[in-house]
Amino acid sequence: MKDNGFTMNSSGKSFNRLRSFTWHQAMYVVAAIWICSVIAGIVLLAKYGSAPGAAAGPPRSWPATPGLPCQSSRPSLVMFVHPKCPCSRASINELARLTARCRDRMDLTALFVVPPGCPPDWHKSALWENANAIPGLRVVVDQGGRLAAAFGITTSGHCLVYDAGENLIFSGGITTGRGHEGDSPGQAIVTGIALHSAVNGSHECATYGCPLMVKAHQTN
């Protein structure tokens, strides 16, 4: 039986129309799934970017660390860095800004942590090169993470500031999220300490970065 050019079966249904209807339904379903997946990915990325690293428990006084002595009559800042952490590119860039403003009033060190079992030159990454290009910044390698352990730090990008009396006055990050550059509470606090001696107790901020002891991102 014919009906406007469509083949009909005995019950009067058009196979062509049914196939066309089913195909359009499938396309709507695929499009809906794709849109939901994109939205879910964006939400997860946003949550990851705003999720701080594990809380640290640094000592209140500078620990006995032969590889990193405190030898200054002014505040000392140490940033702990995972050489392959993509989030820490922003931390290093913010440290460059901080160093340019405060290097005459504060000792600044970037401590690159090499997890146990990694080759000795594993720290030589783009982050390492960027840090070494910052005038006035001391760059140190922490082979096996012994110094990071002595300071109780577990997240890349974490900064500690000790005053001239070797007392902890700041602990935390200087970015507002993973890979986010720009003004941040941590940056403001450390700048205030260096430029204005604005020390009123001990200050803390969240740190955004990868775990220091993870051997991820082995190529950069």
pLDDT of residue 31: 55
Beta-strand runs (E) in the chain: 2-3, 6-7, 76-81, 107-114, 138-143, 158-162, 168-172, 203-204
Residue with structure tokens 């990694």?
Answer: 118
Q: Are 161 and 77 in contact (CB under 8 A)?
A: yes
pLDDT of residue 41: 37
Residue 86: exposed, middle, or buried by beta-carbon count in 10 A (0-12, 13-18, 19+)? middle
pLDDT of residue 152: 94
CA distance 109 to 78: 5
pLDDT of residue 198: 61
Alpha-carbon dihedral sign for residues 54, 133, 138, 77: negative
Domain boundaries, the chain: 1-49, 76-204
Q: Are 161 and 170 in contact (CB under 8 A)?
A: yes
Closest by CA to 188, choosing from 172, 201, 167, is 172
pLDDT of residue 37: 46
From residue 149, how far is each of 56, 113, 122 by CA, in Å?
10, 10, 19
Count other Cβ atoms within 10 Å, centred on residue 2: 7
Strands 107-114 and 138-143: parallel
pLDDT of residue 199: 66
Per residue of the chain (220 residues), give pLDDT as tens: 444 444 445 555 555 555 555 765 666 555 555 454 444 433 333 343 445 556 668 999 999 888 888 877 899 999 999 999 998 999 999 999 999 999 899 999 999 999 988 888 899 999 999 999 999 999 999 999 999 999 999 999 999 999 989 999 999 999 998 667 888 899 999 999 988 776 666 788 999 999 998 775 443 4
pLDDT of residue 114: 94
- pTM for this model (two decimals): 0.74
pLDDT of residue 219: 39
Question: Under CATH, which number does the domain 76-204 receive?
Answer: 3.40.30.10
